[in-house]
Amino acid sequence: MDRNLRLAPFSSGGRRPWIRAAGLALSVAALGLVMGSTIPTLAQAQVSGSSMSVPLAPDAPERYVVRKGDTLWDIAGVFLRDPWYWPEIWYVNPEIANPHLIYPGDVLNLVYVDGKPRITLEQAGPMRLSPQVRSQPLKDAIRAIPYDLLMDFVGRPSLLSKEQIKEAPYVVGMRDRHIVGSTANEIYGRGLGEPAAGARFNVISVGDELRDPDDGDLLGYMGQLAGLGEVIQSTGAVVPGSDSIFKMKREEELTHLRVLQTNREILQGDKLFPATVDIGADFVLSAPANEEVLGQVIAIVDGVHVAGKYQVLALNRGKRHGLAPGNALGVFYRGEQVRDRYDRQNWMAYTANYDRVRLPDERSATVLVFQVYERMSYALVVESSQVIQRGDFVAHPRFGHREAGSQDFIR
């Protein structure tokens, strides 16, 4: 891989008209007392379009009302050409409790402070009594991405080690001689001990092994959610003695569970892990601190061969490589190899002695990393212009362009 990659330049979006600059300056003046910041002069507002540190979207509004169903990625895309720059323009009164949370009904203003664009809370939703603590539940806050798409990954292991696979409790059988389990079936777990009635466990199927294509090392096994079971009771099971079934028998506790829901068929040997209801901490959109991060898509979750928007990818880069939840990455598909039959000596004819030419790797998507391990991570596709395949490259989001862009990762 060629790590000597160039960062694609970006434009500032041009100057803003004088009238709009004046309006923005007045908006900042009105907010100056609330924000406790220096009010920019009209001249500063006029030149802000050429001095901004991040590129605004061409049609960025001066005011936006947050709606139910919005995500932070959506909102950032309203104001910014590249949403991962959001931390650089988010500017809120630190006296407000939980200043990084945004709720439906909040009003966001695009203003300029010291000639730089900033997004501020002009007015909060009806439930906020600044500077008092907001009484609206935290679960109603706007999240970075559509979190319902990631619920299959929350509260359960999605990367399994050999030790976990060997030691974890598992499905030992099913009631009524069923071969596979589904919703409303009953299953039996072994190795759970004596959990209380009503306790819930995720049923995890051991998926494909994940290997790092750089060195072939085994990173783990993909844990795929098969279903959710609820404990009915713990019961003793008669198990033959170690030498012969005619010798003394011992009892071992089995757990009787009712299957509440399924994502796929439940099979004997599937692993059992405690289910949690915590939706997990949210994260801030950002670009990786390591600008030289370069990895590959090593798997597509759910066993499909190609991926598009809102599907989950496994990447061979993690904490060791500087990744953190909320990091955006660009995805590049491998340039295909073509036959150059053009005869440079005789331009009116084709030659039989053709060259093989590999086309550049083209930008095809943007993903957001949401779950990070030491040497791998999972990421959600938030935008794509072409299908993603195993083996595609991932790199810093400033490489190439979101619409179309080329990089040579392999020479």
DSSP string, 360-392: PEEEEEEEEEEEE-SS-EEEEEEEESS-EETT-
pLDDT at 177: 85
Residue 4 predicted with pLDDT over 80: no
DSSP string, 230-290: EEEEEEEEEE--SS-TTS--EEEEEEEEEEEEESS-B-TT-EEEE-----------B--S-
Is residue 216 very low, low, confident or very high in pLDDT (cuts 50, 70, 90)?
Answer: very high
pLDDT recorded at residue 346:
64
pLDDT of residue 38: 33
Which pLDDT belongs to residue 161?
92
Helix (H) or strand (E) holding 338: strand 337-342
Our CA angle for 261, 225, 74, nearest 5°, is 95
Q: What is the pLDDT of residue 407?
A: 59
Tell me if 287 sits within 8 A of 328, measured CB to CB.
yes
pLDDT digits (tens, 9 = 90+) for 346-393: 666 666 666 788 888 888 999 999 999 999 999 999 999 889 999 999
| Angle subtended at Cα 318 by Cα 315 and Cα 321, rounded to the nearest 5 degrees | 115
Mean predicted confidence (pLDDT) in 260-277: 90
What sign does the dihedral 184-186-187-191 (CA atoms) show?
A: positive
Is pLDDT at 333 greater than 80 in this prediction? yes
Spatial distance between the Cα atoms of 233 and 220, rounded to a whole number of angstroms: 33
Contact status, residue 364 vs residue 329, Cβ threshold 8 Å: no
**pLDDT at 349 (0 to 100):** 64
pLDDT over 90 at 322, yes or no: yes
In the predicted model, what is the mean pLDDT of residues 202-226? 93
Q: Give the integer Cα–Cα distance in Å for 255 and 236.
A: 9
pLDDT at residue 319, as a whole number:
96
- Dump pLDDT digits (tens) for 95-139: 566 667 888 888 999 998 888 899 988 755 554 444 444 445 556
Q: Which pLDDT band holds residue 191 (cuts at 50, 70, 90)?
A: very high
Q: How far is CA 341 from the centre of its chain?
A: 43
Contacts of 129 (CB under 8 A, 6+ apart): 135
Look at 232-241, 284-293, 297-306 and tell me which has the smallest mean pLDDT: 232-241
User: Token digits for 365?
Assistant: 């998507």
What pLDDT shows up at residue 114?
A: 84
Average pLDDT rounded to a whole number, residues 242-262: 73
In percent, the amount of the chain with pLDDT more than 90 equals: 42
**Strand stretches in 75-139, DSSP E:** 107-113, 116-123
Q: Rounded to an integer, what distance in angstroms lies between the CA atom of residue 203 and that of residue 231?
A: 12
Kindly report the average pLDDT of the chain as a whole number.
Answer: 77
The contacts of residue 71 (CB under 8 Å, 6+ apart) are 142, 143, 144, 145, 146
State the pLDDT at residue 126.
52
Please give the span between the terminal C-alpha atoms of the chain, in angstroms, as a whole number. 7
User: 18-73 pLDDT, tens per residue?
Assistant: 333 334 333 333 333 333 333 233 233 223 333 346 889 989 999 999 998 899 99
For residue range 81-93, list pLDDT tens digits in order: 999 999 889 887 6
Residue 139 has what pLDDT?
Answer: 63
50 CB-near residues (< 8 Å, 6+ apart): 12, 14, 15
Q: What pLDDT digit, counting tens, does each position of 269-286 carry?
A: 999 999 876 555 678 899
Amino acid at 288: P
Tell me the per-residue pLDDT of 141-166, one tens digit each, with 9 for 90 and over.
888 888 777 776 766 778 999 999 99
User: Which pLDDT does position 152 carry in this prediction?
Assistant: 66
Distance CA(314)–CA(333), nearest Å, equals: 15
Determine the Cα–Cα distance for residues 171 and 75; give it in Å rounded to an integer.
44
Q: Is the pLDDT of residue 397 over 50?
A: yes
